[in-house]
Every structure is written in C-alpha cells, then in structure tokens.
Amino acid sequence: MKILKYSKLLVLVTGLTLISTSCDKNLLNVTNPNQQTAATFWKTSKDAVHATNAVYQTLQSDGAYGRFTDTYEDLRSDGTHAESPWTEFTHAGDFQTLPVSFQDNRVWRAYYIGVFRANQVLEHVPGIKMDSNLKKRLLAETHFLRGIFYFNLLKMYHNIPLVLHTSSDPSKFDVPQTSPDSVWMQIDKDFQAAIPDLPLKYSGDNVGRATKGAAEAYLGKSYLFQKKYQAAATEFKKVIDSGVYGLVANDRDNFDKKGENNKESIFEVQFSSTLGGSGTANGNGIWGTPQPNWGENNLRGNTYAPSGFGWADIEPTHTLENEFLQDSTINGNVDPRLPASLFYYYPGETVYGVPYKQAYPNSYKTAIFWRKYERDTPGGNESDVKNGIDNRLMRYADVLLMYAECLNDMGQTNSAYKYIDMVRSRANLPKLANTKPNMTQSQMMTQIAHTRFLEFCGEEHRYDDILRWGWLKDPQKLKWLQQRDPEFNGYKPGHEYLPIPQSALDANPKLHQNPGY
C-alpha cells in the first residue's frame, strides 16, 4: 500500500512537471547567453573603438607579423636562409613555395581577415552617433591598416582580389583578381584618406596607434614601389620635417622590449608576452575564431631563435655577416649593428647568457643566428613561444634612406649624402661625404643598397628592395644574388611572387594562379 502511494506521488510529480513545462510559450525562444549578436553592436563610441582595435589585432596574427609575413619576406632575401626540417621554410627560401603550402595560405587569409574587419569599421562606424573627432580618427586608422593589408598582399601575391565591402550574400563571395595598378591606386587612396585625420602623436593608452607620420611614410613607400620618386620624396620630407622623429643613439633599442615606441619608431606591431590569454601567439597561429586564451605574443621569436634556444628555422647567411665586416667604425671597431643583429662567435659572446663556445662546442666558429627581436635573456630561451617584442614596421632610419634613394633617383645624388650619413653615423661609421664624395648616381645606389641591407637585415625589407629594384629580372644581379645566397638558384621567372594559395583557387573559380606556377 505504501508503494502504491509512492507511485501515485511520482505520477503526480511527473504530471506537474509536464504541465509546468508545456505551458512555456517561450520554450523555443532561446537566445545565446554567451555572445552579443552583430545586430545589437555598432551602437556606441565604445563599439567603434573596440572594433577598430580588432582591426589592429590582425597585425599580430601568425600569417601577418606573428611569424609568416616575416619569414616569407626574410627568407627570400640574400641575408637569410633556411635549413629547417619544415620544408615549407626551405621552399620559401628556394622560391619553390607550393600552392598547397599552408603557411602561405595563412598569410593570404590573415590579411583578408584584416580587410573584412576594416571594411566593417568603414561601413558601420560612420553611422554611429559619437564624438566626431574620435570617429574621424578611428576611420583614418582603419584606412591606414587596410592600406597596409593590401600593400602586403600586393607585394607578396601581385594578383589579388580587391574587396572593399562586406557581404553575406554568397553570390558576391567570388571576387576576381584586380590589376595590380588598381590595387596600388586603392592603397594610395587608403593612406591618403588616413593622413588628414590622424594625429602626429598619441599619449597614454593610445600610444601605438597609427599616426600621421606613419600614414605619410607608408604612402611614400607605396609611391617608391611605384617609382613615383617625387611624390614619395614629398611624403618622406613631411615626416622628416615633422620634428616628431629622430634616430635613437643605440641601434639595439629598436629591437628589444624596453625601446618600444621610441622616437625612431614610426609604426610598430605591438606584441606582449603577458597580455591576453595564456595561449601562445594568437592561438598558436590558427586563423580561426579568436579565443579567450589567445595571447598577444609572436612565434617569430622562436622561429628565428638560435639553435638550442628555439627552432632556428630561419638563419642569417654568412654573406650578411661578411658584409657587416667590410666596414669598420671610425674607431676601427666592428660595426655595432653586427652584434646587435646576429649571434656570432667573438670572444666574450654569449647566447642567452651561455658562452658561445659552450653552447656550440662543435660549430661555434661558423654558427650564426638571429639576435634581432630575440629576448637573449640569461638563462632563458624562446621555447615558450611567448616572445613579446614589437616588430618595428617603419623606422625613421627607413624614411631617411628611402628619402635618400628618392633624391638619388631624381638625380639629386649630392643631396642624398646627408640622409644616408645620418644612418651611417649612428653606427659610428665614417661619413660617405668624407670617404666617398662625388659618387655617381649608381655608386650612390650601391651604397644605399648596402646600407639598407645591413641596417634592416631581418626586418622584412631586403626582399622588397630586391623586388622593386628589379634585381631578379636582371641576369647579372640574379647571378650575383645566387653567389651570395645559393637559395636564389631556385628562382624561376614568376616566382618573385608567391603562388595564389590552392585553397583560395579552389574556393573561388574566378581566381587564376600566378604565372610561373
């Protein structure tokens, strides 16, 4: 009898549960408790600022300056080579990148992710009711960033789709490639649109955002690539005359943590080993959805780090080391940029605090590695893949040398001395004005190239220079490069650009592979 009552009670309870749940008219209306929908966003100035910050994040991603933009740009130069077991690095060095290469794919994806974010800001922020100056500045920053994204895509892939609007309509996904000339026009337009509304400087928590000088320098660089020397010179001169920038006394301050955002820095990608989640380098470089554990560090540190302290996938060439040793300072010493840039053997040299000979007992005489952007902390190493040193994309030294180059290209070789010597003097090298006065235009060009090679080694500039100077298409220059770095033996016409990633071709039938692949 007791059991009977118990069972009836159970039936009653179940019945009540049924009735209470079935009366719920809103049963099927479940909203996501985790995330804001896009429809409720884009309402406040806070939304505008946060969205613009998200555009900046693209720069940290693995395909951008987290690692692979650096590696592709550097590996194809004569200052860097790869003996990595990761064949995609050796293929990059040999100009043999395959369309199915997955880090190449990451680079392509990274910048288009950035373009998507930038396009959202440019579409939605104008409609937000907010402080108009702030709004203008955010839009200008975004134009600047989109300019960089397309600039990098263009110089790496050459034939690219130009996407300037967002759309969730699948019939609009397949955008064809645009002529490189129209992409250059768009890049110039973005940088031009950025200049008027950007401030010369920021303070406090805004330091690191795009400045007027950054947009001018990048616009100048874009003109330089297009061989518009006068227009480029004008922009560089604005930066020089702005009075905001100068060279730091110690070259090393440009490559470590403490010298970040210094007066020589015009624009740099901000990295941190501590900010964000505990994850390594933006989720270890996956291009997926940002996750709470994404850190703001880079994988470049580990990838370039010396053997035993990192992966040493990317190593400097002895050509680079030897070229540093061609010159001595006015005191007869080694160019200080050599020990600042490379680990190489000399008495007293240490690597992460370990005496060089002890670290490489069998190969200390010949082993050289990158020091630039490495932490080199005694007792440490890069195996935590949490390098947080900023990447200086645009330094004042670069503006000076590009300006010198423009002057020389316009036939004003004598005026170029001043600017190239500013950079040489910081390295305590004798002034060319004194040692090599009255150079011809081509002699000056040789000096500029030599100076740029050393000053910016491992800073993703050398291959840009080789490309825009047309050296790969000049048989003599190509042969010279092959002597300096046998990886150039792998060069084939067309391979000055990376292949369009196979996944992009597969997804978009309107795309064509680059010639030569």
Partner 1 sequence: MKTIIQKNLKYMVLLPLILWQTNVLAQQNIHGKVIDGKTSQALPGVNIVVKGTTNGTATDPNGNYSLSVSASNDTLIYSYIGYQSQTVPIMGRSEINVKLMSRALQGKQLVVIGYGTQQKRDLTGSISTVNSKQFKKNVTPSIGDALQGRVAGVSVQNSGTPGAAPYVKIRGPATFGNNQPLYVVDGVPVGGIQDFDLSDVKSIQVLKDASAAAIYGSRAANGVIIITTKQGQKGKVKVNYNGYYGSQSIVKRYDMLNSTQYQKFDDLILQNAGWSIPPANDPNSSNYVDPNKVNTNWQNAAFVPATIQKHDITISGGTKNSTYALSGSYFDQGGTLKGPGPSFNRYTGRINVDNTFGKFEVKSSAYYANWKKINLTGLHGASPIFDILHAIPIQPIYDPNNVGGYSGTDGQIEPTISLNVIGANNLLQSNTNVDRFLGSITAKYNFMSNLYYKMQYSYDNSFVKGFQFIPDYNLGFFYNNSNAKLDVNEDRYNTQIVQNTLHYKKNIGDNHIGLMVGYTQTVSNHNNLHGHAEGYTQPYFEVLNAGTQNKNTSGYQQKNTLRSFLGRLTYNYKDTYLVNGTLRRDGSSRFSPKHKYGIFPSISLGWRISNESFFNSISFLKKNVNDLKLRASYGKLGNQDIGDYAYTAFINNYAHYEFNGNMAQGDIQVSLANPNIQWETNISRDIGLDIGLLNDKVTLNIDYYNNLAENILVQVPIPPSTGSVSAPTINAASLLNKGLEFSADYKGSKGAFHYDVSGNLSTLHNKVLSLGQGNSAIYGNGTKTVVGGSIGEFYGYVTNGIFQNWDQVYNYATQNQAPNGGRNSVTAQTHTAPGDFKFKDLNGDGKITADGDRTFLGSPIPKFKYGFNANLSYKNWDMSIFFQGVYGNKILNRMRQLVQDEAGYGNYDTYVYNNHWTSQNHSNTVPRPVYGDPNNNGRNSNRWLEDGSYLQLKNLQIGYTIPHKISNKVGINNLRIYVQGQNVFTITKYSGYSPIISHVLTGVSRGGPSGTADGLFSRGVDVGSYPQPRTLSLGLTLGF
What is the Cα–Cα distance from 18 to 418, expressed in whole angstroms? 87
Sign of CA dihedral 193, 194, 200, 203: positive
Tokens 């009653």, located at residue = 12
DSSP H or E run through 393:
strand 391-395
Q: Which CB sits closer to partner 1, 155 or 337?
A: 155
Residue ranges of E strands in 305-440: 315-316, 342-343, 350-351, 354-355, 369-370, 391-395
**Which one, 458 or 501, has the nearer CB to partner 1?**
501
Task: Return the ∠ at Cα 450 (arms to 447 and 455), rounded to 5°.
Answer: 120
Beta strand 160-161 with 354-355 is unpaired
CA distance 257 to 267: 15
State phi, psi for 378 to the nearest 5 degrees. Answer: -55, 130
272 binds partner 1 (CB under 8 A): yes
Which tokens sit at 110?
């990274």
Measure the CA–CA gap between 11 and 15, rounded to whole angstroms. 6
The only residue of 64, 122, 140, 163 in contact with partner 1, by rule CB under 8 A: 163
How many angstroms separate the CA atoms of 170 and 235, rounded?
40
# binding residues, partner 1 (CB under 8 A):
120
Using the contact rule CB under 8 A, the part of the chain among 2-10, 228-236, 342-350, 414-422 near partner 1 is 2-10
Residues 166-225 that bind partner 1 (CB under 8 A): 166-168, 170-171, 173-175, 204-209
Q: Kindly tell me which of 27 and 249 has the beta carbon lying closer to partner 1.
A: 27
**For residues 254 and 413, which CB has a smaller minimum distance to partner 1 in the complex?**
254
147 near partner 1, rule: CB under 8 A: no
Q: How far apart are CA 353 and CA 119, in angstroms?
A: 47
CB of 373 within 8 A of CB of 300?
yes
User: Of the ranges 131-139, 233-241, 325-333, 501-509, which one interacts with partner 1 (CB under 8 A)?
Assistant: 501-509
Q: What would the two tokens of residue 183 be? A: 């992409």
Q: Which pair of structure tokens corresponds to residue 95?
A: 């100009």
Nearest distance in Å: CB 54, partner 1:
3
| Residue 44 C-alpha from the chain's centroid | 30
Q: Find the helix or strand (DSSP H, E) in which 466 lies.
A: helix 462-468
**DSSP notation for 114-138:** HHHHHHHHHHHGGGS-S-HHHHHHH
Under the binding rule (CB under 8 A), the answer on residue 294 touching partner 1 is yes
- Residues 24-63 interacting with partner 1 (rule: CB under 8 A): 27-39, 41, 47, 50-51, 53-57, 59-60
Residue 401 sits in the site that holds partner 1 (CB under 8 A)? no
Closest approach of partner 1 to the CB of residue 420, in Å = 32
Nearer CB in complex with partner 1: 88/235: 88
- Pick between residue 103 and residue 408 the one whose CB is nearest to partner 1: 103
DSSP letter (8 states) at residue 228: -
> Taking CB under 8 A as the criterion, which residues in 336-375 touch partner 1?
360, 362-363
Positive/negative CA dihedral, 192, 197, 203, 208: negative
Interface residue with partner 1 among 77, 120, 159, 413 (CB under 8 A) is: 120
The nearest distance, CB 400 to partner 1, in angstroms, is 26
Whether the CB-CB separation of 498 and 105 falls below 8 Å is answered with no
**CB proximity list for 154: less than 8 A, separation 6 or greater:** 160, 180, 183, 184, 187
For residues 319 and 321, what is the distance between their CA atoms, to the nearest angstrom?
A: 6
* Residue 31: CB minimum distance to partner 1, A: 8
- State which residue, 30 or 249, has the beta carbon closest to partner 1: 30
For residues 7 and 377, which CB has a smaller minimum distance to partner 1 in the complex?
7
Instruction: Tell the smallest beta-carbon distance from residue 331 to partner 1 (Å).
Output: 36
Closest CB to partner 1 among 152 and 413?
152
* Among the residue ranges 235-243, 396-404, 420-428, 499-507, the one whose residues contact partner 1 (CB under 8 A): 499-507
The residue from 66, 147, 220, 276 that contacts partner 1 (CB under 8 A) is: 276
Residue 265 binds partner 1, judged by CB under 8 A: no
Cβ closer to partner 1: 145 or 195? 145
Identity of the residue, 295 or 458, whose beta carbon is nearer to partner 1 in the bound complex: 295
Q: Which of 67, 109, 146, 484 is in the footprint of partner 1 by CB under 8 A?
A: 109
Tell me whether residue 272 or residue 341 sits nearer to partner 1 (CB atom): 272
| Region 375-394 residues binding partner 1, contact defined as CB under 8 A | 381, 383-384
Residue 129 CB: number of other CB atoms within 10 A? 9
Closest separation in Å from C-beta 296 to partner 1: 5
Q: Shortest gap between Cβ of 91 and partner 1 (angstroms)? A: 8
- Geometric angle at alpha carbon 477, from 472 and 482, rounded to 5°: 80
Q: Which of 45, 96, 319, 414 binds partner 1 (CB under 8 A)?
A: 96
Tell me which of 114, 220, 285, 316 binds partner 1, using CB under 8 A. Answer: 114
Contact 51, 121 (CB under 8 A): yes
Q: Which is nearer to partner 1, 180 or 308 (CB)?
A: 308
Question: Which amino acid, one-letter code, is at 187?
Answer: I
Site for partner 1 in 233-262 (CB under 8 A): 261
Q: What is the CA radius of gyration of the chain?
A: 27
